Structure 1
């Protein structure tokens, strides 16, 4: 849950990202009503400029993802990361396709979560997206875990073979 103490931390993170020369930020804040907190998002976006900003998968847990998409466009996000309000993007393809149509090129709709070389081309064709997000990671047994997302006794690391397979799967695919 977001509280007043989170805002200074988020603003400091944005300042650190800018100072480090990062290429962009990923943001998302939900209000008590479970909708996007557009006031706080506007404040965070103003702090982040001129860095491009992506609205994270908060869009998948709000009551009305299409209204949230409209808000993201109005706020000036460059991209929206989504799984189509499903645990994995391939299962949310219908909503992702609808989001792409509604966005009309005003924001990039980027599917992420559950994308692999075996399903990414079909998702791109089915939704009309122009970019995707994928972990392309494998467990690194014995390496120290960093978070709860890591497997017991290790952590995930980017797997070059998976990256190559993903790129090959997308070669020549057009939305």
Structure 2
């Protein structure tokens, strides 16, 4: 299995519904099939808006798109789509969040992989993005948002680390 970045924009001509289905062409079929059963991160391209990385989901299966030769649908496992509590920017300290989009000097690459609608995402990059979008202290942050002295939380759990295994 492999983790991916899936580009998505709200006004897309494709029939994407991030929490249900991702529409893609044959050129990405091998990568998406390899990600079945694993997690993906959704990314809004620069020209579409300011969000950057904004959600995660798990791919359940891939099917041919009915009535559209050469197109496929990645079906999202029900209940796995999770918008980030905090959108994650494309760049952090001027450096891309994805190693594959970074020049040797740390500056962002131009063209090439940057423009791919489906990109492979190393585990370390995935973990970094998810931990920024769904910080491990999220339960504590939310608990203190409205109650400055919340009841004690279970110290033995790490909610974001448990949720995103490939199992």
TM (normalized to structure 2)?
0.26
Question: Where is the strand percentage greater, Structure 1 or Structure 2?
Answer: 2
Question: Where is the helix percentage greater, Structure 1 or Structure 2?
Answer: 1
TM (normalized to structure 1)?
0.25
